[in-house]
Structure 1
Amino acid sequence: MFNLPGMTAGWFLNLNRKRHPAGKAALVRRAQGGRPHRLIDAEMAVGRGIIDAGTIPVAALAERFDVSAQTFYT
């Protein structure tokens, strides 16, 4: 009964020891996780310029670029 928490702690400690070198190697490679951006920087700059000019509403602009309107607010 009391052995179970110790076994679990040992298992997680071992798991962290295995993952730590992999994480260090990823930092050296400058690896970044996550999904790629939907718009490239040039498209985002064009979109923000149109929004700042106020010629097209954000919803219409987002539809034109086939993205969510939240894309231009982040």
Structure 2
Amino acid sequence: MTDKTADDLAAKRARWISAGWKPTKASNPNFKCRQCQSDDILFELSKSSDGAYDDYHYHCFGCDRDWWVESSDY
């Protein structure tokens, strides 16, 4: 990885964190991406306006993959 690429990735990660995304390492240090095995993953908790559900949205910075984990509906 070149310095420019590393700097670009760090800037992208910082933008996501400033938008409210959180690193998974803090709450689950063993969590890894199923596609690339990277642990450089951020997540956000998405709540419905009526409180009927909470879903987790994940983004891996190792392979640029996004996925959702849906929780139970209330």
TM-score by length of 2: 0.27
Larger strand proportion of the pair: 2
- Compare relative contact order (CA 8 Å, sep 6+) and give the higher one, 1 or 2: 2
Structure with more helix by fraction = 1
TM-score, normalization by structure 1: 0.27
